[in-house]
Structure 1
Amino acid sequence: MSEQYSALARLYDDLMYDAPYEEWSRYIIELLHREGVEPGAEILEYACGTGNLTLPLAKAGYRITAVDSSEDMLFRAQEKTRKNALKVNYACEDMCRFRLNRPVCGAVCACDGVNYLLAEAELRCFFERTYANLRENGVFLFDISSAYKLRNILGNEFYYDDGEAETCFWQNRFDDRSKTVRMELTIFIHRGGACYERQDETHVQRAWECAEVMRALRDAGFTEIEAYGFLSGDKPAGQEERIQFCAVKRRTVNE
């Protein structure tokens, strides 16, 4: 399984403290409701991370299978699930290859999961696998950090976060040729006294254009595809930092 997030998993929730998870989960539930996917339905969540959106969906009554490639992130998601007395089926798997025994009504992939797919072949494979995991009329909801955000906000920047138990330094480099941002993270974990343990991680994300994503969805078989500005029902603006996609699986005459 992926070693990405092995060190960052313990810091992830602290670094994402200002993410609007409550509003985000309500938005996802509203989109599911619009497509007739109501609480009680089975849904698949890809790249679930530490469960910050998994738990609100489970609390709303959805029956969730949640997938992530990081054992460390899943461990924290499972801890939260137990503390909240909820039931979620977790699996440590590559989302491009994950197969359900039976198709579900909805699939969700939030907070950059698709940005970690670096090649068009990976993107198509993921969308094709999701299409196969959905029932007829099933809905696929996912978002991406926009190309604008990766190039102009994250690209070639330096960040740091100094917490009580850990300190994280984060250096980004954007490469126009590959359309990727490479994030080099150095994390110092306080082990007591003057002792710190250093851990290093590298994350790479692809800047996908909206047109590239929509073409790959159509190639996978999705016919009803919409893109919105984040947490809205409006078309994405030119400097939108996050773009929400909604794709529905409809039966065609050839199926």
Structure 2
Amino acid sequence: MAYQTLSAFYDKLTDDQPYDQWRTVIQHFLPSEHVATVLDLGCGTGTLTTSFLDFADHVVGMDLSEEMVTYAQQKSEKVEWLVGNMAAFSLSNRFDVITILCDSLNYLTDEEDVLATLNHVYQHLKNDGVLIFDVHTTQKMDTQFNGATYLDDRENLTLVWQTEPGELPHSVWHDLTFFVQRENGLYERYDESQFQRTLDKPIYHNMLESIGFKKVTSFYDFDPNNDNPTSDRLFFVATK
């Protein structure tokens, strides 16, 4: 899913996201304190990706949205930024760590695309390399996004975010309306729709094992000791 309108406002609307918690999880599961190579799939505007330079020699960020990557390029010239599809990519490098964070995998709504992505990740990991990804839980998709409306009012920018259940199991339509205040004081309106789907936990687990990952662990809400399925975010860590 390529963000169009949202890319221009993404950083302002996500400045309260728990990026430090994502980073803590990643550092906890690194194969070593410092690694040579990290690939971040679905990197968005690169806020998390650029922070990986603190523990990796070479960082690559990839996103399907050219607009998102354009904004990411402004954050660091040390990261290698790529436009690409996580379900169909081929790179010459092999990586110590590959991440798919911030529920980016939920934008793949076909199970075959999810499986293809995990297969490509496996092929691009070094032996003993680690995949870390997170997705919305089925509980969150089926309850919190079930016809809910959210309002985010910032300086010169207002977002009205409406959700509706999708046609597929554990799926949701996000209908986003942006009101952007221009220099003349008038507001300009933009509309965008996004579609997300999550899968039951055993499906992800079985996919990872069938591909050949030798160790698969899971937990919830950034806490490796949390096994409560009524949580909001499900994490997987898989070792090749």
Q: With structure 2 as the length reference, what TM-score do the two structures score? A: 0.93
Aligned partner (choices 49, 62, 71) of residue 67 of structure 1: 62
Q: Does 1:99 align with 2:99?
A: no
CA contact (8 A) 1:37 1:105 kept: no
Aligned partner (choices 14, 17, 29) of residue 15 of structure 2: 17
Q: How many residues align?
A: 240
Instruction: In structure 2, list runs of 5 or more residues that go unmatched.
Output: none
Structure 1 counterpart of 2:123: 132
Taking the aligned partners of 2:221 and 2:57, their CA distance within structure 1 comes to 22
Give the C-alpha shift of residue 176 in structure 1: 6.3
Structure 2 counterpart of 1:240: 231
Instruction: In structure 1, list runs of 5 or more residues that go unmatched.
Output: 250-255
> Could you list the per-position Cα deviations for residues 34-86 of structure 1 after superposition, in whole angstroms to 9, with x for gaps in the alignment?
xx24424111110011112112211333411110011222122221225xxxx
Taking the aligned partners of 1:162 and 1:134, their CA distance within structure 2 comes to 41
Taking the aligned partners of 1:14 and 1:151, their CA distance within structure 2 comes to 27
Taking the aligned partners of 2:118 and 2:216, their CA distance within structure 1 comes to 12
Q: Does 1:182 align with 2:177?
A: no
AA matched with 2:187: Y
Taking the aligned partners of 1:158 and 1:213, their CA distance within structure 2 comes to 29
CA RMSD of aligned residues (A): 1.7
Give the C-alpha shift of residue 10 in structure 1: 2.2
Q: Does 1:39 align with 2:30?
A: no
AA matched with 1:245: F
Taking the aligned partners of 2:57 and 2:45, their CA distance within structure 1 comes to 18
Structure 2 counterpart of 1:52: 47
Taking the aligned partners of 2:214 and 2:167, their CA distance within structure 1 comes to 31
AA matched with 1:5: Y
Q: With structure 1 as the length reference, what TM-score do the two structures score? A: 0.88
Which consecutive aligned stretches of 4+ in structure 1 deviate over 6 angstroms post-superposition? none
AA matched with 2:184: G
Taking the aligned partners of 2:131 and 2:103, their CA distance within structure 1 comes to 15
CA contact (8 A) 2:38 2:59 kept: yes
CA contact (8 A) 2:137 2:234 kept: yes
